[in-house]
Structure 1
């Protein structure tokens, strides 16, 4: 039995919350705030988009190991699973990162899933993960689909030209059926999504809005490529609704952006509304820092 398997879910949740609170307290007490320029409107203290892209590339190989236990204890995996139950049709996932959502797409939910990110390092980890995942086994790539079509064609021709039906004949071989979902990978800038208007039934973004230079523009792009009646599924971290936590997030913003490329104190719901999207469902947890939003 694994170490985590020795505890009930309730114990793990309580332990996660205590760990989270302890971490916040430690940060408030011991970590010095980054120095700020005299001009409070200046943003040159933050890394450029190119620098943050390099940060993501560097984080990619060890990222899953770094966040796995944290996500489990804080119930993030459970929220990912709940969110992705809403995915359907043709899906575009923005800021896929290392593929933290790969294991949570329900079987048969979607006709196509396009995973995207602007970090080559993250995309490589994602591709390797998909290849080894249950998702990769269930949902095939275009090349494998073409191979399957060819196998079925050969089997049909052999059956038509041969009366043999023994175990060794090509016509008796059980060929797996064609899969109905395509998996694709797209390295792109989410502020200029390279797809036509109304291309997708679902757009997914989990913990990505914190990493964009222009989050409202990205949200507008998500809205643009959604079909009428399509849904935007968001799981994000942003500014807390607790004063002490807001203070900590503001105090440590510079440090967090430089280390993780992440602006972790944005007002997520306000950004969504500013982009012209309508919030249909919302929920906040983890001291108000985790936002679960379904919008149209």
Structure 2
């Protein structure tokens, strides 16, 4: 009996997928890129400027979903997005929305408004396309058209029906829009909304991309209403020494290729911003942080 014959077809498929996921993860983590600049720890200007990184995001945007989609699926990132977004409610601000990889995980009726934001025009363009194609976007489009139809019917009724003395005009059409969808180009270090504007703030894999992550977190806290939640899913420094070393060695490559500082101490940044962590979990050798703060 051969070694492989000891396993069922399902076990072999699962094992193959796990092996592939591990390989992809290792390749993204450890293999050097021929286009990567040589690392010079003593050079303070070795990292790209904010405008250069914005250009990187613009360039990545058209093919970004294809590049990371399978990788996220195999490593369980999509499941974590889904679990995190179940906690979104009320008026929601999503920071660094990118191409809209969270859109499919907002449950029906969860929120009365979602503001998707980013500072990359390229990402915003793909984001709007993905939202329009999503169930969330289709529901919003239908509800908006239905609201307009009811308003037109109300106006027509007012114009054709006589109004008896002492009676009031027909009531306005009901607001049938389940979730308002808005888009906002903005710098997350200076969120253009008043204090206590949102019930939920969402940020997935954004803290690794900000020049001033603590300032951004302070802004998120500022716009949260009392009792509101900050939902985070982030890249960060591993809790394994060998992985920390590899992240440090590959930092320059990763920042130049993806605009991402992937070895930041996420929990420390959150606490430094004055936020309280109420739920946390780490996976992928401690490099993926799932956190809820307030």
Structure 2 runs not aligned, ≥5 long:
1-8, 163-172
CA separation of 1:113/1:18 partners in 2, compared to 1, >3 Å: closer, same or farther? same
Cα distance in 2 for residues equivalent to 1:262 and 1:227: 29
| CA apart distance, 1:244 | 1.3
Give the structure 2 partner of residue 64 of structure 1. Answer: 65
DSSP-derived class of the 2:226 partner: strand
Give the structure 1 partner of residue 165 of structure 2. Answer: none
CA separation of 1:176/1:225 partners in 2, compared to 1, >3 Å: closer, same or farther? closer
Give the structure 2 partner of residue 168 of structure 1. Answer: none
Give the structure 2 partner of residue 88 of structure 1. Answer: 89
DSSP-derived class of the 1:139 partner: helix
| CA apart distance, 1:146 | 5.9
Cα distance in 1 for residues equivalent to 2:22 and 2:131: 33
Give the structure 2 partner of residue 121 of structure 1. Answer: 122
Encode CA deviations 1:63-113: one digit per residue, 9 max, x unaligned.
000000000000000100000000000000000000000111000000100
Structure 1 runs not aligned, ≥5 long:
1-5, 162-174
Give the structure 1 partner of residue 38 of structure 2. Answer: 35
DSSP-derived class of the 2:181 partner: strand
CA separation of 1:32/1:247 partners in 2, compared to 1, >3 Å: closer, same or farther? farther
Give the structure 2 partner of residue 107 of structure 1. Answer: 108
Give the structure 2 partner of residue 206 of structure 1. Answer: 204
Matches within 5 A, 1:42-53: 42-53=43-54
CA separation of 1:21/1:184 partners in 2, compared to 1, >3 Å: closer, same or farther? closer
Cα distance in 2 for residues equivalent to 1:145 and 1:188: 31
DSSP-derived class of the 1:80 partner: helix
CA contact (8 A) 1:141 1:182 kept: no
TM-score, scaled relative to structure 2: 0.85
Question: Is 1:260 the counterpart of 2:263 in the alignment?
Answer: no
Question: Is 1:14 the counterpart of 2:18 in the alignment?
Answer: yes
Question: Is 1:246 the counterpart of 2:244 in the alignment?
Answer: yes
Question: What is the aligned-residue RMSD (CA, Å)?
Answer: 2.9
Cα distance in 2 for residues equivalent to 1:284 and 1:209: 16
Cα distance in 1 for residues equivalent to 2:41 and 2:214: 27
Cα distance in 2 for residues equivalent to 1:281 and 1:59: 32
Question: Is 1:23 the counterpart of 2:27 in the alignment?
Answer: yes
TM-score, scaled relative to structure 1: 0.84
Give the structure 2 partner of residue 170 of structure 1. Answer: none
Cα distance in 1 for residues equivalent to 2:59 and 2:142: 28
Give the structure 2 partner of residue 132 of structure 1. Answer: 133
